[in-house]
């Protein structure tokens, strides 16, 4: 069973460029989460979707960040324009609720983003 797949694994780009991170959740999962991890701030939830609909984007740092989920098997997180302080590891996770509220999340291996 394939896990959550993120691409790219590493991204290095210059300040001001647009960055697009991609995520393929586990097939059949109905929740998708985007997180950011840094040494200073730890693990932060940015946004999450249920059945492709954004439910809570209160963690998105500012308007430069946007996320979409056009279908059940694909999501993107976009940063435009990027800034050095956006450098972090970005994780995607998915879960299957099965009608319950307490199912565990499954994480991808992350995208390590460096903005120069």
Partner 1 sequence: GDSVTQMEGPVTLSEEAFLTINCTYTATGYPSLFWYVQYPGEGLQLLLKATKADDKGSNKGFEATYRKETTSFHLEKGSVQVSDSAVYFCALINTGGGNKLTFGTGTQLKVEL
Contact residues toward partner 1 (CB under 8 A) are 4, 31, 33, 42-43, 45, 48, 50, 55-56, 91, 93, 95, 97, 101-110
Residue 6: C-alpha distances to residues 16, 88, 99, 101 (Å): 23, 15, 26, 25
CB of 16 to partner 1, least distance (A): 28
Comparing CB distances to partner 1, the nearer of 93 and 115 is 93
Tokens of 66: 């946007």
30's torsion region: left (phi>0), alpha (psi -120 to 50) or beta?
alpha
**Which residues neighbour 78 within 8 Å (Cβ) at sequence distance 6 or greater?**
18, 19, 20, 21, 65, 66, 67, 68
Minimum distance from residue 82 beta carbon to partner 1 (Å): 22
Return the number of the residue (64 or 96) whose C-beta is nearest partner 1.
Answer: 96
CB 76, min distance to partner 1, A = 18
Name which of 75 and 95 has its Cβ closer to partner 1.
95
Angle at 44 between CA 61 and CA 85, to 5 degrees: 50
Nearer to partner 1, 19 or 108 (CB): 108
Report in angstroms how near the CB of residue 8 gets to partner 1 at its nearest.
14
């Amino acid at each position: 069973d394939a896990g959550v797949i993120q691409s790219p694994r590493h991204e290095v780009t210059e300040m001001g460029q647009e960055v697009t991170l991609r995520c393929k959740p586990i097939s059949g999962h109905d929740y998708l989460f985007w997180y950011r991890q840094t040494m200073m701030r730890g693990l932060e939830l940015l946004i999450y979707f249920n059945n492709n609909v954004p439910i809570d984007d209160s963690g998105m740092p500012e308007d430069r960040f946007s996320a979409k989920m056009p279908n059940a098997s694909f999501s993107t997180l976009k940063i435009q324009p990027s800034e050095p302080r956006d450098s972090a590891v970005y994780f995607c996770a998915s879960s299957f609720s099965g009608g319950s509220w307490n199912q565990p999340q499954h994480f991808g291996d992350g995208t390590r983003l460096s903005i120069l």
